[in-house]
């Protein structure tokens, strides 16, 4: 009963009335700059992550800067958040690039692009030290967006998700109605699936009603909060459809440029600090909730077969080649990513021991 009550509370968070702010500290003094930031999350662990970023800004800025964090739909819908920041209706937002990639498919490359053997950590390395930030800024300029963004919180690979039966081959996925977002939609369409792009809070009801046959969101904690274990008992971990992703924190560029340099630095370096906190905090929560799903809620957890993941890579090749032929900027980003991944992953693959070997040695 407690789980169901908590889940109702979590889902109700997606319809928070008005623009009531989440808990933020009182800022002394009358000259504090206040930024209004809306998150794409109505509750659960991702809203906690957004609050954690805000808390770091407050801890460093003291009385000079305050961020009012608003839950999903407080001012505008998630699909309208970037435009709202661009126009100054919001000062900032906390979301992922896949939520606005309809403006440019290149947006999805800054998070949910093809896997060149790297994880979210290395993609963030490319953003910061491989030319990715400069390419993103170029994209903002090409789109005419009055937005400056920072990226943080390297997510583990996202599960393939929830199905009505165990998936043992890619052929079983053909024709299934499936929820995902971003470029992953193109990839899974290439694999024969029928893709529906839904907000997080609508996934479980859609699967329960039969609108979709299968779905993914992001991680065991959010999936459990949504109640996916009530509509499916077969959960597949590991996938290349979204094997790397992270948050984007966007600010109205005109407002950002007017801030003192030290406050601009705080907004940037609070984002970097949240990288470590997110990974440490969320990985433990995900592991704990996965055990709860397995041991207490009767979920069968499977590792997605390598044959299915190879089919995903083949589909990625087709999608990337097609879009690169249509969009020169997309092709430029892909080339930049490949150069970075070949170099950095070449070193890491040679240097990293087989951690799974050590795990099996101690835990079986």
pLDDT tens string 234-286: 999 999 999 999 999 999 999 999 999 999 999 999 999 999 999 999 999 99
State the pLDDT at residue 197: 84
Residue with tokens 């770091």: 56
**Distances in whole angstroms, Cα of residue 248 to Cα of each of 39, 48, 140, 267:** 10, 15, 13, 12
pLDDT digits (tens, 9 = 90+) for 46-73: 999 999 999 999 999 999 999 999 999 9
Domain 2-157+244-285 has CATH 3.40.47.10: no
73 vs 181, residue with greater confidence: 73
Distance CA 32, CA 30 (A): 6
Q: Give the whole-angstrom CA distance, residue 336 versus residue 115.
A: 13
Q: Please give the Cα distance from 301 to 141 (Å, whole number).
A: 44
Residues 6+ positions from 351 with CB-CB distance below 8 Å:
none
* Distance in angstroms (rounded) separating the CA atoms of residues 259 and 252: 11
Rg (alpha carbons) of the chain, rounded to whole number: 20
* Per-chain mean pLDDT for the chain: 91
For residue 54, what pLDDT is reported?
98
Q: CATH 3.40.190.10 occupies which residues in the chain?
A: 161-242+292-351
> What confidence category does residue 7 fall into, taking pLDDT thresholds of 50, 70 and 90?
very low
- Given CA atoms 160, 164, 170, 174 in this order, what sign does their dihedral have? negative
- Quickly tell me which residue has 């979590």 as its tokens: 10
Helix runs in 175-327, H state only: 184-190, 203-209, 220-226, 253-258, 261-295, 306-326
Q: Where in the chain is the domain with CATH 3.40.190.170?
A: 2-157+244-285
Residues 352-362 pLDDT 10s: 999 999 999 99
CB under 8 Å to 201, separation ≥6 — which residues? 11, 14, 42, 226
pLDDT score at 31: 66
How far apart (Å, rounded) are the C-alpha atoms in residues 311 and 216? 18
CA atoms of 217 and 62, how far apart (whole Å):
36
Bridge partner list, 215: 162, 179
User: Does residue 155 contact residue 220 with C-beta atoms inside 8 Å?
Assistant: no
| Measured CA angle at 290 (ends 288, 293), to 5 deg | 115
Give yes or no for residue 26 having a pLDDT over 90.
no
- pLDDT at position 157 is 96
d(CA 309, CA 299) in angstroms, rounded, equals: 22
| CATH for 161-242+292-351 (3.90.79.10, 3.40.50.300, 3.30.499.10, 3.40.190.10) | 3.40.190.10
């Amino acid at each position: 009963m407690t789980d169901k009550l908590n889940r109702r509370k979590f889902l109700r968070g997606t319809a928070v009335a008005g623009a009531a702010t989440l808990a933020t500290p009182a800022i002394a003094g009358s000259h504090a700059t206040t930024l209004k930031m809306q998150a794409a999350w109505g509750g659960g662990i991702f809203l906690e992550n957004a609050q954690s970023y805000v808390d770091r800004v407050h801890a460093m800025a003291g009385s000079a800067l305050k961020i009012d964090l608003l839950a999903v739909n407080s001012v505008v819908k998630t699909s309208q958040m970037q435009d709202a920041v661009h126009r100054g209706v919001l000062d900032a937002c906390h979301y992922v690039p896949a939520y606005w990639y309809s403006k440019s498919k290149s947006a999805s490359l800054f998070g949910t692009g093809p896997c060149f053997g790297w994880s979210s950590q290395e993609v963030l390395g490319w953003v910061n030290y491989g030319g990715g930030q400069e390419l993103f800024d170029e994209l903002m300029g090409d789109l005419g967006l009055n937005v400056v963004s920072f990226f943080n919180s390297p997510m583990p690979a996202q599960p393939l998700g929830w199905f009505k039966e165990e998936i043992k081959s890619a052929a079983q996925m053909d024709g299934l109605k499936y929820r995902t977002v971003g470029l992953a939609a193109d990839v899974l369409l290439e694999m024969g699936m029928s893709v529906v792009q839904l907000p997080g809070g609508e996934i479980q009801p859609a699967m329960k009603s039969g609108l979709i046959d299968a779905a993914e969101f992001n991680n065991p904690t959010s999936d459990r909060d949504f109640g996916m274990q009530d509509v499916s008992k077969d959960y597949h971990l590991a996938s290349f459809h979204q094997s790397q992703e992270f948050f984007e924190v966007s600010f109205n560029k005109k407002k950002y440029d007017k801030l003192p340099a030290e406050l601009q630095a705080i907004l940037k370096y609070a984002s970097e600090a949240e990288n470590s906190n997110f990974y440490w905090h969320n990985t433990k929560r995900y592991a704990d909730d996965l055990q709860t799903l397995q041991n207490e809620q009767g979920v069968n957890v499977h590792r997605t077969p390598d044959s299915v993941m190879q089919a995903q890579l083949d589909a990625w090749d087709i999608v990337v080649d097609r879009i690169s032929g249509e969009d020169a900027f997309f092709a430029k980003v892909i080339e930049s990513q490949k150069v970075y991944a070949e170099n950095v992953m070449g070193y890491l693959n040679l240097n990293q021991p087989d951690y799974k070997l050590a795990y099996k040695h101690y835990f079986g």
